[in-house]
Amino acid sequence: MVDQQQAPKIIAPGYTFGTVTDQIATVVLTKKTSLFWLAGFGVGFSLLLLFLWSITVLLAKGVGVWGNRTPTMWGFDITNFVWWIGIGHAGTLISAILLLLNQRWRNSINRFAEAMTLFAVACAGMFPLLHLGRPWLFYWLFPYPNTMNVQPNFRSPLVWDVFAVSTYATVSLLFWYVGLMPDLATLRDRTRNPLARVIYGVMAMGWRGSARHWSVYETATLLLAGLATPLVLSVHTVVSFDFTIAIVPGWHSTFFPPYFVAGAIYSGFAMVLALAIPLRKAYGLQGLITDKHLDNCAKVMLATGLIVAYAYILETFTAWYSGNVYEQAAFWHRMTGPYASSYWLLVGCNIAAPQALWFKRVRGNAALLFCWSLVVLVGMWLERYVIIVSSLAQDYLPSSWGNFHPTRWDWGTYLGTIGMFLFLFFIFIRLLPVISIFEVRTLLPQAKVGEEAQR
Amino acid sequence: MRSIYGVMAEFDNPTALVNAARAAREKGYRKLDAYSPFPIEELSDALHLHKNRLPLIVLAGGIVGGLAGYLMQYYVTVWDFPINIGGRPLHSWPAYIVITFEMTILLAAISAVMGLLALCGLPMLYHPAFNVPRFALASRNRFFLSIEATDPLFDARATSVFLETLGAKEVSEVAE
């Protein structure tokens, strides 16, 4: 007889309702702040200050401090916007789509993935706002009765984007908060600090785990997941409309929506891995975020990476097959022109590198996976940069060609949003449970109601 | 005798709670509530809790959102601020689809959350259940069943004895 290899579990054996609760709640309720937290928060906070500095310079001198010049009127700003909002997509995919598909392993990674979504969308929102030049007039983007007697043009994808992104941010926040309520009640009941008890108590809204409430709660979660699923697919679709509806060669393509959505999930799962691996190591959460979770995330990354690879190939083929000289020239310039190094680097990062994920040895090694996820994040950033900048730099008239040169304020703003993301994420780690406690309880074998009661 | 909210029994596993809830219902008690640290589907069965009006609320929210989104765009582009862009009709409905869709989702999601809070009666500032000191464990690893004093069959002593026969670890009175 051959010993059958035990399938890796999604939760380590030996946990009880009590120990699961204590382990996750302790990360928040302990008085000791770990060195990991201080280091991560320190990096985030320093970069956040860089962000504030860059914004101050931007507001004092104007958008000219960035490298955006005719013809590349979109540069780092829109690249970063698309990159950040794409990263957010994995959080909603994990919390909504995997819930509808009954993938129970998601229960221990959905909370911080949703937080990642919220913070990534906040970072994404910064760029179009700052690019407005006068960000304090952002409300002009929305239709409202005004004395100027002007209204937004609803035929423009840029206005669709305003609605799509603000809806996405709102719905993600609501979904996240609903998921937090039972855990906030746990923190309220567990904390010994009277001030914390009041704050968690107010946030938990008096949740007491009543069966009547749970029954409505389950319906609400399912409905929200059902609503968030088409929403998340629509958001990057609308973002891709910003490009496809323009007539710029290299942008004007009907297959951008699925291509962008796949790329978004790809980069999002890379970010989930980049956050989960240090997090579980620093707080000893390997029993809850197991190797099985990393393996599954890596498989999703591989699958979406293959879709992205297919999209690159098809994009190039379509340009050639269209017979349109401008499309053909756009792709030829992309591969051989001033942005060739970025293009081939992104092909290396997004197509070649992830092929290593076919091997179990790579997927089973957390440190390697961490490096791989960073490679994919860089690759996906380059993808957006190449699509946006190389298409604008060389379009129809050679006389109007021009390259994009990022300034230090471009870099400052970009690194600054990474700082803002880390800053928010580390505050989240310290103040709210990083893993959904009540959903992990349902994964335990003890949570199954015995046969005699299932009449 | 001082007035009490009801009696509450504590169990240490979900199976015991579901059995107790079912037995109490079969005994004729109706003012029951059970408390658990995670949702238990069988418990909803035992307490006959499967119907709620949330889907209807969400549907209404979605319809209102979609209509509001479409009509807002129609009003702005046709009546309030008509601009001729490339000779396209003022009522260019295909361009309205995205915002109509987003508004549908937005209002449906907001009504899902508001509906959840309304149907649960949250936020709630005070509930007698918290007067039981061990009730803090309902959000950790213990399971509770309460029978309220307003139930016609309720009798402080008899109900407590009944709950004890169901295998409760501890039965306590809940102060009003």
A73-85 pLDDT per residue, tens: 999 999 999 999 9
Is B126 within a domain?
no
Amino acid at A351: I
State whether A154 and B95 contact (CB < 8 Å). Answer: yes
Q: Considering chain A, what percentage of its residues have pLDDT values greater than 90?
A: 82
Is B127 within a domain?
no
Distance from CA of B73 to the nearest CA of A (A): 7
State whether A208 and B34 contact (CB < 8 Å). Answer: no
Q: Considering chain B, what percentage of its residues have pLDDT values greater than 70?
A: 99
pLDDT at position A163 is 95
Q: Are residues B110 and B72 in the same domain?
A: yes
Cα–Cα distances in angstroms (integers) from residue A29 to residues A184, A187, A272, B27, B142, in the given order: 12, 8, 24, 43, 20
**Residue A402 in contact with partner chain B when CB distance is under 8 A:** no
Distance from CA of B32 to the nearest CA of A (A): 10
Q: Are residues B33 and B62 in the same domain?
A: no
Separation of alpha carbons A85 and A119, rounded Å: 10
Contact list, A208 vs chain B (CB under 8 Å): 35, 127, 129-130, 135, 138-139
Distance from CA of A48 to the nearest CA of B (A): 31
Asked whether A44 and A422 are in contact (CB, 8 A), the reply is yes
For A:191-220, CB contacts with B below 8 A are 202, 205-220
Separation of alpha carbons A144 and A165, rounded Å: 18
Q: Tens digit of pLDDT for each residue in B19-33? A: 999 999 998 888 899
Q: Are residues B92 and B42 in the same domain?
A: no
Asked whether B32 and B47 are in contact (CB, 8 A), the reply is yes
Amino acid at A451: E
Q: Which two tokens stand for residue A320?
A: 């050639």
Q: Return the number of other C-beta atoms located less than 10 Å from residue B171's C-beta.
A: 17
State whether A216 and B15 contact (CB < 8 Å). Answer: no
pLDDT at position B176 is 81
pLDDT at position A7 is 56
Mean pLDDT of B32-56: 90
Q: Nearest residue of B to residue A225 by CA position? A: B109
Q: Which of A158, A219, A241, A442 to mutate to test the interface with B (most CBs of B within 10 A)?
A: A219
| Residue in B130, B140, B142 with CA at minimum distance from that of residue B169 | B142
Distance from CA of B5 to the nearest CA of A (A): 15
The closest CB to that of B105, out of A16, A227, A238, belongs to: A227
Mean pLDDT of B96-122: 96
**Residue B132 in contact with partner chain A when CB distance is under 8 A:** no
State whether B85 and A231 contact (CB < 8 Å). Answer: no
Burial A330-363 (b: 16+ CB within 10 A, else e): bbebbeebebeebbbebbebbbebbebbeeeebb
Distance from CA of A136 to the nearest CA of B (A): 23
**Domain CATH number, residue B169:** 3.30.70
Cα–Cα distances in angstroms (integers) from residue A64 to residues A126, A368, A402, B44, in the given order: 17, 41, 16, 61
Q: Return the number of other C-beta atoms located less than 10 Å from residue A253's C-beta.
A: 19
Q: Are residues B109 and B152 in the same domain?
A: no
Asked whether A190 and A25 are in contact (CB, 8 A), the reply is yes
Nearest-10 crossing angle of helices A408-431, A76-92: 20
**Residue B106 in contact with partner chain A when CB distance is under 8 A:** yes
| Residue in A82, A369, A60, A210 with CA at minimum distance from that of residue B127 | A210
pLDDT of residue A407 exceeding 80, the answer is: yes
Cα–Cα distances in angstroms (integers) from residue A427 to residues A4, A231, A272, A433, A434, in the given order: 44, 27, 17, 11, 11
| Residue in A189, A211, A208 with CA at minimum distance from that of residue A200 | A189
Separation of alpha carbons A202 and A210, rounded Å: 18
pLDDT at position B167 is 84
**Residue B55 in contact with partner chain A when CB distance is under 8 A:** yes
Is B166 within a domain?
yes
pLDDT of residue A20 exceeding 50, the answer is: yes
Q: Are residues B78 and B92 in the same domain?
A: yes
Sign of CA dihedral B37, B42, B46, B50: positive
Q: Tens digit of pLDDT for each residue in B127-138? A: 999 999 899 999
Mean pLDDT of A161-183: 95
Q: Nearest residue of B to residue A235 by CA position? A: B102
**Residue B138 in contact with partner chain A when CB distance is under 8 A:** yes
The closest CB to that of B123, out of A143, A206, A219, belongs to: A206
Q: Tens digit of pLDDT for each residue in A357-374? A: 999 999 999 999 999 999
Distance from CA of A51 to the nearest CA of B (A): 31
Contacts of A411 (CB under 8 A, 6+ apart): A76
The closest CB to that of A223, out of B112, B129, B135, belongs to: B112
Is B20 within a domain?
yes
Separation of alpha carbons A237 and A255, rounded Å: 10
What is residue B6's three-state secondary structure? strand
Asked whether A369 and A277 are in contact (CB, 8 A), the reply is yes
Cα–Cα distances in angstroms (integers) from residue A95 to residues A103, A170, A344, in the given order: 10, 15, 34
**Residue B150 in contact with partner chain A when CB distance is under 8 A:** no
The closest CB to that of B37, out of A151, A153, A441, belongs to: A441
Q: For A141, phi and psi rounded to 5 degrees?
A: -70, -25
Provide the whole-model pTM. 0.93
The closest CB to that of B109, out of A174, A188, A453, belongs to: A174
**Residue B12 in contact with partner chain A when CB distance is under 8 A:** no
Contact list, A28 vs chain B (CB under 8 Å): none
pLDDT at position A1 is 43
Residue range(s) defining the domain that contains residue B26: 4-51+137-175
Give chain B's domain count.
Answer: 2
Mean pLDDT of A242-261: 91
| Residue in A418, A91, A112, A419 with CA at minimum distance from that of residue A276 | A112
Q: Tens digit of pLDDT for each residue in A90-138? A: 898 888 999 999 888 899 999 999 999 999 999 999 999 999 989 999 9
pLDDT grade for B48, boundaries at 50, 70 and 90: confident
Tokens 């004890």, located at residue? B164
pLDDT of residue A43 exceeding 70, the answer is: yes
Separation of alpha carbons A144 and A292, rounded Å: 50
Q: Return the number of other C-beta atoms located less than 10 Å from residue A387's C-beta.
A: 25
For A:34-93, CB contacts with B below 8 A are none
For A:4-33, CB contacts with B below 8 A are 16-18, 21
pLDDT at position A6 is 53
Q: Which two tokens stand for residue A55?
A: 């914004």
Distance from CA of A451 to the nearest CA of B (A): 9
**Mean pLDDT for chain A?**
92
Q: For B11, phi and psi rounded to 5 degrees?
A: -125, 160
State whether A164 and B37 contact (CB < 8 Å). Answer: no
Mean pLDDT of A149-168: 92
Q: Are residues B11 and B65 in the same domain?
A: no
**Residue A224 in contact with partner chain B when CB distance is under 8 A:** yes
pLDDT grade for B86, boundaries at 50, 70 and 90: confident
pLDDT of residue B37 exceeding 80, the answer is: yes
pLDDT at position A450 is 78
Please say whether the structural domain A32-446 has been given the CATH code 1.20.1630.10.
yes
pLDDT grade for A13, boundaries at 50, 70 and 90: confident
Q: Are residues B71 and B112 in the same domain?
A: yes
**Residue A233 in contact with partner chain B when CB distance is under 8 A:** no
Q: Are residues B60 and B39 in the same domain?
A: no
Tokens 């464990």, located at residue? B137
Mean pLDDT of A214-226: 94
Distance from CA of A77 to the nearest CA of B (A): 24
Contact list, A205 vs chain B (CB under 8 Å): 117, 122-124
